[in-house]
A and B are shown apart, each in its own frame.
Chain A
Amino acid sequence: MLERMREIICEFVDIDPESITLDTNIRHDLGLNSLELVNLAVEIEEEFEVEIPDREAMGLETVADAIRIIEEYM
């Protein structure tokens, strides 16, 4: 799951995939703003065939949070 998340995230930021860990903060370490965060949620939805409510998407903090939400809504 982490590998697929890395691939998705690297579509948004120019960063070494290996540097992305479960603890990576999507907003503060990767610098995604709230609109980019929403676009990331769209990518995640398409990749994992899930539907993530906006409220959850806007509250995403770390990569681990994203994985937890995907598992919850899968």
Chain B
Amino acid sequence: MAQFTKKDKKEIDAIRHEVHMMGELITLRQLLDRMEVYGDRICMVEKKKYEIIQHTVRDFRTDVYALGTALISLGLKGKHIGIVSENSYAWVVAYFAVTCGVGVVAPIDKELTDELISFLFTKADCEAVFFSKMYQKTAKYHLAHDERCKTAICFNKEFDEENILNFDKLVALGKKLMDEGDRSFIDAKIEKDDLAAIVFTSGTTGINKGVMLTHGNFAQNADGVLESIDPDQYSSISLLPMNHVYELSCNIFTALYMNCIVYINDSLKNFQQNLQLFKPDAMAIVPLVIDTIYTTIWKTAEETGRADVLKKGLKISNALMKVGIDVRPKLFSQIAEKFGGKFPTFSCGGAPTRVEYVTCLCDMGFNIYNGYGLTESSPTVTLNLDCRNKPDCAGKPFPKAEYKIHEPDKDGVGEIWIRGENVTKGYYNDEEATKASFEDGWFKTGDYGRTGEDGMLYIMGRKKNLIILDNGKNVFPEEVEAFFMEHLEYVHEVVVFEAEKEINGRPQKIIAAAFQLAPEDFEGKTEDELYEMMNKDVSEVNKLLPAYKRVADVYVSTEEFEINSTRKVIRKKVEDRYYAHLKAVGQ
């Protein structure tokens, strides 16, 4: 795909400079308007079946304005509008159309079940929803279950049914209205503190909360990325789901703002092929991708008998790097071939990375950034641009973001509190949770950390029980516990936790559950029979949960779990029992 000549890059750099000189970015609408300077340059590329479609900045802005105008004509001004779909150009157009002049957007995790997606649309008070063909059942389910939602709009051309509107037709309607003089969207005024999106941090029931993010929150992040990162990036690939603030804020918004072409990865299944096709300069990823790349490189090296050569190459390269000679592009060119011929820059977030993997990949020539952030801070708090030398830290504060270590202990470790223009105003319709999360203007993250002598933030652990999976997904144990208690009536107590278990010779981070049963209910049953019963039942209940929340390993006990003075189960003791059991059965 697009190979940028020196001249192209110079031209883009000049326009970027022009954008930079426009001053502080305040709203997403301003971002959309400022993009005008890029004119007919390509901003997004996507694959539709076997066709590659390039969208210019002009087309994108026209489509956003037209769709926004059409949505207002449907009576949706000021309303909340949901989105559930795979990543696509239409997804981004819909997001900008809703936020930049119509109302508030609620992008939902596409990996959830139909019922949960509908539940979250309702929780966000959506009166219209965008969806792709894959989610037509979901959209119909939602329309049937929430009478306040009367409009469903499908992104796919071929889908045109009664009660369901079509994206392309709406854009055409909007263009017609604008030609006739409709300025309702064009003249819309957006302020910094206006709510742009309601983003659900995780899953389902009462435990999950809708984070309210304003235009100012997003604008600050886009501005901060522009200020911080290496400007020598002219294309990126959108791999992570766009409903994640991390992908949207750090990749899509920033890329659009600096005219870095966004190649949309149409399916995870085509990722490798798309890398070869698009040859992106950068991408936002989660640690799972780092793990997979690292494992694949070494597995291939072992299989082809080149592992020793690779080890030796790394040794030589590292020695030369110390005296300022970089031979990595030449020495590890075969690895770069897999990425379209060059090492891309990875911005890795969502979960902690494995230090040794990051170091090794940096030594091979990959450029890796990581940092610390959360949905509530849209998302960047700190950024580490030097992963090769400091792979274990989360970096320095992001522009205009601030953190402090609250009540540090003798080692300097305390809860990380954050504030700044990137931080949410609170949770949607949840004053109690909002109140509990803020103190003296600081947002209490629930994470523990310390500031090193180098001024960098080091993350030390979590106060909450939250499980963060390698793919960046967050799972609240309490939510999964409540789900199992509801579905397995005979269970007296359940504790869900993150565990490390070796499966087929590989250590894996999994979700485990310890179940406490009443002995009198199961008199005469052997331990093996209890395990057989529990495994079978857990497997059935698992099917009702989104795949990433499923329990992978079960521990069963007829002895009571240890409790503390407030009669709460001591989770750590239960986890210890689980590991003792694994040891006893030789796992």
Contact = CB atoms under 8 A, between A and B. Distances in A.
Nearest to B289: A35
B30 interface: no
B269 A55 contact: no
A33 B288 contact: yes
B84 to A, nearest CB: 11
A58 B109 CA distance: 13
B547 A61 contact: yes
6 contacts: A25-B539, A27-B550, A33-B508, A34-B547, A34-B548, A45-B269
Interface stretch (B354-362, B398-406, B489-497, B498-506): B498-506
Contacts of A41: 269
B567 interface: no
A42 B272 CA distance: 11
B584 to A, nearest CB: 20
Contacts of B267: 54
Interface residues of A, number: 27
A67 to B, nearest CB: 16
A55 B133 CA distance: 12
B389 interface: no
Contacts of A55: 110-111, 134
A17 interface: no
B542 A61 contact: yes
Contacts of B542: 61
A33 B470 contact: yes
B292 interface: yes
What 8 pairs across the A-B complex have the smallest Cβ distances?
A31-B503, A28-B552, A38-B268, A35-B292, A31-B504, A42-B269, A13-B504, A59-B547
A38 B539 CA distance: 21
A8 interface: no
A31 B110 contact: no
A69 interface: no
Nearest to B509: A33
Contacts of A57: 268-269
A59 B292 CA distance: 20
A41 B506 CA distance: 21
Given A28-B510, A34-B548, A61-B547, A54 B268 contact: yes
A54 B504 contact: no
A49 to B, nearest CB: 15
Most chain B Cβ neighbours within 10 Å, of A36, A42, A60: A42
A35 B62 CA distance: 36
A33 B542 CA distance: 16
Contact of B504 (A15, A25, A45): A15
Interface string B64-105: 000000000000000000000010000000000000000000
B552 A27 contact: yes
Given A30-B504, A54-B267, A57-B269, 9 more contacts: A13-B504, A29-B503, A31-B508, A33-B288, A34-B548, A35-B289, A36-B292, A58-B547, A61-B542
Interface in A16-47: 25, 27-31, 33-36, 38-39, 41-42, 45
B543 interface: yes
A31 B506 contact: yes
Interface residues of B, number: 28
B562 to A, nearest CB: 27
Contacts of A62: 539
Interface in B251-293: 267-269, 271, 288-289, 291-292
B281 to A, nearest CB: 22
Tell me which of A27, A34, A53 has the highest count of chain B C-beta atoms within 10 A of its own C-beta: A34
B278 to A, nearest CB: 18
A45 B273 CA distance: 15
Given A28-B552, A54-B269, A55-B134, A34 B503 contact: no
Contacts of A72: none
A53 B85 CA distance: 12
Contact of A28 (B134, B548, B553): B553
Given A38-B269, A54-B86, A54-B267, A30 B503 contact: yes
A14 B111 contact: no
A36 B271 CA distance: 12
B347 to A, nearest CB: 18
Nearest to B110: A55
A57 B268 CA distance: 10
B151 interface: no
A15 B506 CA distance: 12
Most chain A C-beta atoms within 10 Å of own C-beta, residue among B269, B289, B292, B548: B269
A54 B505 CA distance: 28
Contacts of B508: 31, 33
Contact of A34 (B86, B471, B552): B471
Nearest to B507: A31
Nearest to A59: B547
B264 to A, nearest CB: 13
B115 to A, nearest CB: 14
B160 to A, nearest CB: 20
